[in-house]
A and B are shown apart, each in its own frame.
Chain A
């Protein structure tokens, strides 16, 4: 928390909300976004400022609302499979995995072991890809465009791998109920390992150019501090919480897929400000690279990757409901699926981590920061708008 200044020019806070009178002329209301280069994706912040300091912030979402949950009520289970990945554009794989996992659990389907390993590999690649995108945004928001040039290109190399494996660059549509759609193409694994080496090398440079950059340190340190006691209050998950020293990682706590067979430690930080969160994320990128290597080494080399499903055109799933979660780059990603015994899901609810991070938390953290820092703060929370409004 920013310390309450003596003789403050700021209006008093009541319940964490500033009390101010817009008509006094002392304050100005500005919109940042949706058409603004400093905003992640398509969303907007309604800022009330005093000078260049923010005294109130309101997040507006819904620019990307497509009504997925409604659309899925009209679609058969298999038809939902291409739909779900669109819920989160930069990191679609978690949607695919979670929807498939929920459906499998409700239908009582056990997928082959190799499919679980391939899924895990896919998810870790998605994590790395998504982080590479994020790091470009984080650096860019503090004026370091070069790093974005490096990492987004690296991300593109990862997308090439995805393309060869799944047939799609952005929307992979690869993990469907029953397993995955195809096995590795010949020579793909070696390509993957080569790309990881390139990524690792550039990450070292990123650390030098960004984490050891005096400008970045000065601006990012102390920006948007999340204290451990806020974690449950605002439902904060993922690196945002871990940077505050709260060691929670779903991969470790309630292992899914094959994470219990992999060797890794939860990455934690000491202070969750923009800089601390960056540190945790970069460590997690190295961890992700390590996990991919472990998976490649430990996974069964042969075997089926898909279980026979009932005829998907009229596949009915017994009534029931379940919730599945996975640790994505931003935190806890979850799917709640309710089936009523028909061939279409009755309700699918998508719990995106940005839902709480970008709205309640952002509104809280933005207060008493600088206009120039909102972009950096926003990116340091790592929010992706499409998963908020769905």
Chain B
């Protein structure tokens, strides 16, 4: 987690007390938002954590945010033909209720800002599924001035699914893979985000030029 970050070192995120600066907010709004950075939640011990992981994996609630073309294959999943409810998956309208964020392919800078905000608002443990080529290495829009190339530079990604677009079945297979990971206790990316918060935040701020939201939204 180090490449070409030198030019970003001058961006200051914290003040002397280790609180977030929230530099993008107007002064009168600063008091309205929290200035704490995210914390790592240590897992519980033994069987209890296993039970929790089982419960988490069997009720994956998707955030209903169609960020890119991938959203089009989410819609059939919600219908009776594929019936994703049988896998314990259902869409939720708000980040507060959702645990799984499906990034539907490419993310333009403007959407990336909303993705970051929605992702941070989700409750941990939270998981991210990257759909298609675009989230891996830019995909079809590898040379576009307005889409990111690598999603894992901005938010941690649990599972990638190949395709453009991946079919609904591939999406389901991806969700099954994610369930397996969670049950094995490997779905720790919310903690990874908290641990490497500065790195992620600097990457995000490098591309999102008008940062007019709190440094950490929750």
Which residues of A are interface residues toward B (Cβ below 8 A)? 34-37, 41-42, 62-67, 70-71, 74, 82-83, 86, 89-90, 133, 136, 148-149, 152-153, 155-156, 159, 169-171, 386
Contacts and interface: CB of A to CB of B under 8 A. Distances in A.
Contacts of A83: 140
A145 B78 CA distance: 11
B159 interface: no
Contact of A35 (B65, B81, B146): B65
B11 interface: no
Given A35-B65, A35-B95, A64-B108, 10 more contacts: A34-B65, A62-B110, A63-B108, A70-B144, A71-B141, A133-B75, A152-B75, A155-B76, A170-B165, A171-B164
B111 interface: yes
A205 to B, nearest CB: 14
A36 B63 CA distance: 10
Contacts of A170: 69, 72-73, 165
Contacts of B76: 152-153, 155-156, 159
B208 to A, nearest CB: 13
3 smallest CB-CB distances across A and B, nearest first, come from: A37-B93, A35-B65, A89-B69
Given A34-B65, A36-B93, A170-B165, A65 B81 contact: no
A171 B69 CA distance: 10
Nearest to A88: B69
Contacts of A65: 108, 110, 146
B94 to A, nearest CB: 8
B86 interface: no
B194 interface: no
A155 B75 CA distance: 11
Interface string B55-99: 000000001111111011101101111000000000101010000
Interface string B144-176: 111100000000000000001101000000000
Contacts of A90: 72
B106 interface: yes
B146 A66 contact: yes
A368 B151 CA distance: 41
Contacts of B186: none
B9 interface: no
A42 B165 contact: no
B106 A66 contact: yes
Contacts of A89: 69, 72
**What range describes how many residues of B lie at the interface?**
35 or more
B145 A42 contact: no
B123 interface: no
A35 B164 CA distance: 23
18 contacts: A36-B93, A37-B91, A41-B71, A63-B108, A64-B108, A67-B147, A70-B144, A82-B140, A83-B140, A86-B140, A148-B79, A149-B79, A153-B79, A153-B80, A153-B81, A159-B76, A169-B165, A170-B165
Given A66-B141, A67-B144, A34 B72 contact: no
A64 B79 CA distance: 25
A86 B68 CA distance: 11
A347 B129 CA distance: 36
B73 A34 contact: no
A171 B133 CA distance: 14
B69 A37 contact: no
B204 interface: no
Nearest to B121: A35
B28 interface: no
A34 B78 CA distance: 20
B71 A42 contact: yes
Nearest to A90: B72
Given A41-B66, A66-B106, A169 B167 contact: yes
A62 B108 contact: yes
- Between A62, A63, A386, the greatest number of chain B beta carbons within 10 A of the residue's beta carbon is seen for A63
